[in-house]
Structure 1
Amino acid sequence: MVTRVPGWLLRHRITVEPYLGDSAHGPRYGPAVEGIPALVAATHRQLTDTDGREVIATAQIIAAPGLHCPPGSRVTLPDGRATRALSVGDHSAPGLPVPASVEVMCQ
């Protein structure tokens, strides 16, 4: 039974700077975590961000369970483009033969 997305599918590497909150000087981020295995796809999908605004996501990231990337995190994609995580979803189906993963939609 498959319990998590297979590592051989995660062909790209991304960098995540986890969002820690806002300060008087703007957003605060944690230390950058480099070389995170992921599958990155270009996409155009309309969604609602954490502030309730309608936004267009331009990148979809699939990663192994346990990825720490709260909405608002800075993400550097394999092509070097820096973007912001709009939404994060943990996908799991205990007992079913489908892989668990984390999906991050980026601006």
Structure 2
Amino acid sequence: MLIPAFLLQHEMTVEAWQGEGPYGPSYAAPVAVRCFLDEQTRMVRNPGGEEVTSSSTAYALPDAVCPTRSRVTLPSGRTTTVIAAYQRDGGNLPTPDHLEVQLQ
């Protein structure tokens, strides 16, 4: 079961991080991603295990591509960075499968 489409009321623009290039970070072309955006500040752990502050969390369809360090532009126009992205799969449970994206 996927996250219901009626919950995806927001749209963020994601430039997927591709790595370091000769002139700094390299990003893919911008892609519009439908999501539910929860702008709430909270402490989260980054992939390195350090506690960092997340200003927003976006919930998108599981096939969205939002790797760590990607650049994201929110509906407000604010540009931020992906701290971590987690696939949430309920298996056989009746819970909505989705991608949780924690943003700086």
Matches within 5 A, 1:49-60: 49-60=46-57
Matches within 5 A, 1:1-107: 3-34=1-32, 36-107=33-104
- What is the CA distance between 1:24 and its match in structure 2? 2.7
Distance in 2 separating the partners of 1:25 and 1:51? 25
TM-score, normalised via structure 2 length: 0.94
Q: Structure 1: how far apart are the matches of 2:46 and 2:97? A: 23
Q: Which amino acid aligns with 2:22?
A: A
CA RMSD, 1 decimal: 1.1
Aligned length: 104
TM-score (norm. length: structure 1): 0.91
Aligned-partner Cα distance in 2 for 1:18–1:83: 12
Q: Aligned letter for 1:65?
A: P
Identity percentage of aligned residues: 34
Which structure 2 residue ranges, 5 or more long, are not aligned?
Answer: none
Q: Distance in 1 between matches of 2:49 and 2:17?
A: 18
